[in-house]
Chains A and B, each alone.
Chain A
Amino acid sequence: MTRTVSALLRKELLVELRTLESVPGMSLFAVSTIVVFHFALQRSTVDGDLAAGVLWVTLLFAAMLGLNRLFVADAEQGGFDGFLLAPVDRTAMLIAKALTLLSYLLVLEIVAVPAFALLLLGPPLGPALPGLVAILALADVGLALIGTLIAALAVQTRARDLLGPLLALPLLVPIVIAGARATSPLLSAGHVGALSGRWLAMLALYDLVFGLIAYAVFDFLLED
């Protein structure tokens, strides 16, 4: 299993490095979204709830772009068949693709969060950073799991670029709720609030539940 996952991961990252079709697009989109927010909200700085909201919407929508591209190369170039012919555990593809999407999200955040701090965030990012990293780490796992599952579902349909985000957004609402609620006190104008354990627990629960479900159902999506 580990060997299969690592073989898949190497291939994924190699293809992405060669084509650069996901990560730069996601990152650029995030920065553009932040700029759009400046104009749409007509503000130069945001803090507290508003800041959390802007950040989470930006990350979520950029993640949708990554979701859309995740299985396209496999669907169009026979990647599924090539994998299905091999004597391997098919769940390895779930793990490898989720790890891939996770890595894309991490790179996205490395670009988007500083950009956000630079362009729109009022309070300083520094004190908020440790808490933010914890929240994003947990949320990213959930995003990656649901993203992979929905991407696999959507890639075999017509209108795949539309159906992916359409299916994923409602499913990701709990992440947005927990993520935004946890982030607001960290970005408040006065002193930095505490990191709420309740919301982290919510994120962890979400990751656990959907991790188990994804593990159980993913194989059914791969058969022909």
Chain B
Amino acid sequence: MGIALCLVFFYAPIELEEGLLQKIFYLHVPLAIVSLGGFVLGGILAIAHLRTRDRRWDLRSYVTIHMSLIFGVAVLLTGSIWARGSWGHWWVWSEPTLVSYLIVFLLYATYQPLRFAIEDPERQARYASVFAIVAGAFVPLNFLAVRLSTSYLHPRVLGSSSNLPGSMRFTFLVSLAAIALLFATLCSYELTAKRTRMLLRSRSRILGYR
């Protein structure tokens, strides 16, 4: 699967004939879509955790949100580069998606400090799940609010993807698939790593006490 991933990933840049700026677009938007999806998914997994009380759901929720946050850094970086290229500034307030993404990012950046501020692991998982649910519901609402507030200031530069001509649209979709796969792969790696670490820790604890 990793090979398919790499192939897909490199196919997208090769296809491009447009300038560097458009290439960033193919990276920035899919990253944003995938990470936002990840945040909302983290909320859904948190609902599963609260309903089943099974801590494995909390682990999945945590990893998903954590990975989305990391992707989020990339979103903001690529977004900034793209803004610089389009308007000459490293940041613009007129692009509503970028602005609302910043707010979402700031919100989820508090997720880990929240977790680490609670010592009791059961409570930590429970409170983190509550937060993930609230934040997950917040994502669409926030986009709506920011969109409403900027829509009549500047015309949106980023047209919707349905307006893209055929070849660009195809490249965009490929890129989206690639990044989604990357996200899923990295999440499963992190999940496995965490599970292994937990397993090792509980084994050594059992051995240590006996």
Chain B positions 31 through 69: 1 when the CB is less than 8 Å from some CB of chain A, otherwise 0 = 000000000000000000010000000000000000000
Residues of A contacting B199 with CB < 8 Å?
Answer: none
Return the chain A residue nearest B143 by Cβ.
Answer: A174
Contact A166–B145 (Cβ < 8 Å)? no
Chain A positions 145 through 184: 1 when the CB is less than 8 Å from some CB of chain B, otherwise 0 = 0000100010011111001001101110110011001000
Return the chain B residue nearest A199 by Cβ.
Answer: B148
Return the chain A residue nearest B124 by Cβ.
Answer: A157
Q: Nearest chain B CB to A77's CB is how many angstroms away?
A: 20
Q: Which of B127, B133, B146 is A156 in contact with, Cβ under 8 Å?
A: B127
A71 adjacent to chain B (CB < 8 Å): no
Contact B114–A202 (Cβ < 8 Å)? no
The docked-state distance in angstroms from the alpha carbon of A158 to that of B127 is: 13
Q: Nearest chain B CB to A163's CB is how many angstroms away?
A: 6
Q: Nearest chain B CB to A152's CB is how many angstroms away?
A: 9
The docked-state distance in angstroms from the alpha carbon of A167 to that of B118 is: 14
Residues of A contacting B107 with CB < 8 Å?
Answer: 167, 170-171
A39 adjacent to chain B (CB < 8 Å): no
A36 adjacent to chain B (CB < 8 Å): no
Chain B positions 117 through 145: 1 when the CB is less than 8 Å from some CB of chain A, otherwise 0 = 11100010011011101110110011011
Given known A153-B127, A202-B148, contact A163–B133 (CB-CB < 8 A): no
A7 adjacent to chain B (CB < 8 Å): no
Return the chain B residue nearest A205 by Cβ.
Answer: B141
The docked-state distance in angstroms from the alpha carbon of A171 to that of B135 is: 8
B113 adjacent to chain A (CB < 8 Å): yes
Chain B's interface size range is: 20 to 34
Given known A163-B113, A198-B148, contact A217–B133 (CB-CB < 8 A): yes
B110 adjacent to chain A (CB < 8 Å): yes
Most chain A beta-carbon contacts within 10 A, residue among B133, B146, B149: B149
Contact A221–B130 (Cβ < 8 Å)? yes
Contact A206–B149 (Cβ < 8 Å)? no
The docked-state distance in angstroms from the alpha carbon of A181 to that of B145 is: 11
Given known A158-B117, A220-B50, A221-B127, contact A174–B142 (CB-CB < 8 A): yes
Q: Which of A169, A217, A223 is B134 in contact with, Cβ under 8 Å?
A: A217
Which residues in A have some Cβ–Cβ distance to B below 8 Å? Answer: 149, 153, 156-160, 163, 166-167, 169-171, 173-174, 177-178, 181, 198, 202, 205-206, 209-210, 213-214, 216-217, 220-221, 223-224
List 18 additional contacts besides A209-B141, A214-B134; criterion CB under 8 Å: A153-B130, A156-B123, A158-B117, A166-B113, A167-B131, A169-B106, A170-B138, A171-B134, A174-B142, A174-B145, A177-B148, A181-B149, A202-B144, A206-B141, A206-B145, A210-B137, A217-B133, A217-B134
Nearest 5 CB-CB pairings of A with B:
A170-B107, A174-B145, A157-B117, A170-B106, A217-B130
Please name 24 pairs of A and B residues whose Cβ atoms are closer than 8 Å in the assembled complex, sorted by A.
A149-B130, A153-B127, A156-B123, A157-B117, A160-B117, A163-B110, A166-B113, A167-B114, A167-B131, A169-B106, A170-B104, A171-B134, A171-B138, A173-B145, A174-B145, A177-B145, A177-B146, A177-B148, A178-B149, A205-B144, A206-B145, A210-B134, A214-B134, A223-B126
